[in-house]
């Protein structure tokens, strides 16, 4: 069991205060902190501290696994996925909307990666779509109120939304859905918009935004489609002149309350709007973008990957697995994610690694009776994590006062803490 130091990704849409607040920092961070990566992706591996690491006592998790795949991953995981950690865990803080994006299936990723390799496109090229051969299904769990767009809305409901904002210039576009309220109609309208000449976008988009303002004003800042109208205005302000603002109106608008989760399978067009959450995915960085970004948008490839079936975006609360643990279900063998609430007493986790234990609230003391070592003990605070290899023994977790000072919120039940547990999914 070793402390795992995350890689910080400082994208412009990140927050200077959200992760700093979780850490207990007095002020904002120097740069926007968008994502903390806890994993072993070749593009940016986290680092472990301690053990037999040379120099500054840190080694990349990627190197640790490559040097001892059986001890780190276990024979079963090694046989199923090869000598790599099959999942990537992230802590995400979105201050502004992210790009519209979708991820490929495994077959699409394999074909796309080999095609781009054959074409000689460098892995770090800005026009590269496939940076590995893996799919990227995801689960995100809200730590705070979390707003997102996910999956295509029922076409007739979208017809009602676009009709409600009362923009005559949208009537020809609405006809595509009215006449064919299914995935074919959604594909036709989405394709029309994403391939629209920029001059037409500049004429149509202001009318749509004016319609959203008018809708909110006419309904006392409320109304049936108030959330959708406000989100469109928010996105339009963040990405002026971007055709993705129009496309975003075709998607389900969903709000996750703390502890609620959303599963995003392959082909699901989505965008996170605002909030802080824990995200787990298959160990991949394959992204097909659909707008709301200055980065490369490969329209033909995106259309090949997208699933245009309308699906509801339904938050889930996870399933109880004992008194203190909740498991967020998905049909993905690469990962399993659960949360553990600690208050008084302790929780023992059986040695079924590899695992990453991420603290998101309070402070946690972890004790491990290693198979090859004496008892290892360490304390981690919010935004810190532990790497638990397959060769490790059981880990005991106990909430402790943060910074050795009893917190006011602890109360009579003792200190409180929260841990997210990332593991490999069942076979």
Is residue 9 annotated as a catalytic residue, yes or no?
Answer: no
> How many whole angstroms separate alpha carbon 216 and alpha carbon 207?
14
Distance of CA 262 to the CA centre of its chain: 9
Angle at 402 between CA 398 and CA 405, to 5 degrees: 115
Backbone conformation region of residue 45, classed left if phi is above 0, alpha if psi is from -120 to 50, else beta: beta
Dig out the tokens for 207 from the structure.
């009318």
Q: How many residues does the chain have?
A: 427
Burial 133-148 (b: 16+ CB within 10 A, else e): bbbbbbbbbbbeebbb
Residue pair 140/278 in contact by the 8 Å Cβ criterion: yes
289, 326, 402, 423: the catalytic one is: 289
Taking the C-alpha atoms of residue 224 and residue 215, their distance in angstroms, rounded to an integer, is 10
Task: Give 170's DSSP letter.
Answer: G
Distance from C-alpha of 389 to C-alpha of 74, rounded to nearest angstrom = 8
CA distance 50 to 34: 27
- Cα 3 to chain centroid distance, Å, stands at 22
Cis peptide bond prior to 354, omega within 30° of 0? yes
Q: Which two tokens stand for residue 143?
A: 């730590």
Give the pairing of strands 416-423 and 47-49: unpaired
CA–CA gap between residue 114 and residue 383 (Å, rounded) = 36
Cα-only R_g, the chain = 23
Query: Residue 165's Cα: distance from chain center in Å?
Result: 31
- Catalytic machinery residues: 289
């Amino acid at each position: 069991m070793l402390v795992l130091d995350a890689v910080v990704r400082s994208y412009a849409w990140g927050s200077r205060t959200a992760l700093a607040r979780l850490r207990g920092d007095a002020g904002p961070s120097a740069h926007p902190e968008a994502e903390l990566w806890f994993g072993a992706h070749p593009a940016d591996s986290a680092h472990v501290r301690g053990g037999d690491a040379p120099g500054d006592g840190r080694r990349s998790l990627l190197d640790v696994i490559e040097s001892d795949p059986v001890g780190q991953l276990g024979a079963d995981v090694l046989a199923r996925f090869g000598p790599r950690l099959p999942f990537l865990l992230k802590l995400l803080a979105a201050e502004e909307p992210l790009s519209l994006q979708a991820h490929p299936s495994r077959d699409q990723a394999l074909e796309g990666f080999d095609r781009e390799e054959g074409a000689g496109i460098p892995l770090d090229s800005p026009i590269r779509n496939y940076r590995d051969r893996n799919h990227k299904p995801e689960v995100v769990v809200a730590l705070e109120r979390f707003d997102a767009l996910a999956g295509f809305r029922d076409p007739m409901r979208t017809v009602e939304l676009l009709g409600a904002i009362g923009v005559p210039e949208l009537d020809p576009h609405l006809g595509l859905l009215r006449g064919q309220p299914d995935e074919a109609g959604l594909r036709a309208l989405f394709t029309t918009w994403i391939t629209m000449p920029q001059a037409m976008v500049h004429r149509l988009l202001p009318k749509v935004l004016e319609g959203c303002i008018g809708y909110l004003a006419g309904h006392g800042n409320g109304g049936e489609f108030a959330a959708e109208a406000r989100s469109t205005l928010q996105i339009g302000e963040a990405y002026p002149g971007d055709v993705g603002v129009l496309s975003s109106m075709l998607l389900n608008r969903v709000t996750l309350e703390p502890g609620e989760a959303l599963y995003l399978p392959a082909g699901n067009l989505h965008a996170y709007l605002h909030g802080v959450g824990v995200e787990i995915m298959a160990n991949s960085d394959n992204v097909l973008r659909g707008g709301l970004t200055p980065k490369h948008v490969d329209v033909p490839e995106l259309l090949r990957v997208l699933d245009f079936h309308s699906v509801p975006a339904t938050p889930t609360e996870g399933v109880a697995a004992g008194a203190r643990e909740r498991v967020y279900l998905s049909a993905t063998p690469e990962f399993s994610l659960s949360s553990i609430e600690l208050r008084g007493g302790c929780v023992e986790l059986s040695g079924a690694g590899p695992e990453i234990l991420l603290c998101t609230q309070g402070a946690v003391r972890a004790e491990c009776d290693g198979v090859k070592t004496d008892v290892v003990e360490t304390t981690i605070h919010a935004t810190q994590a532990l790497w638990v290899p397959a060769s490790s023994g059981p880990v005991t977790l106990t909430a402790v006062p943060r910074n050795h000072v009893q917190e006011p919120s602890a109360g009579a039940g003792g200190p409180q803490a929260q841990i997210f547990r990332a593991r490999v999914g069942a076979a």
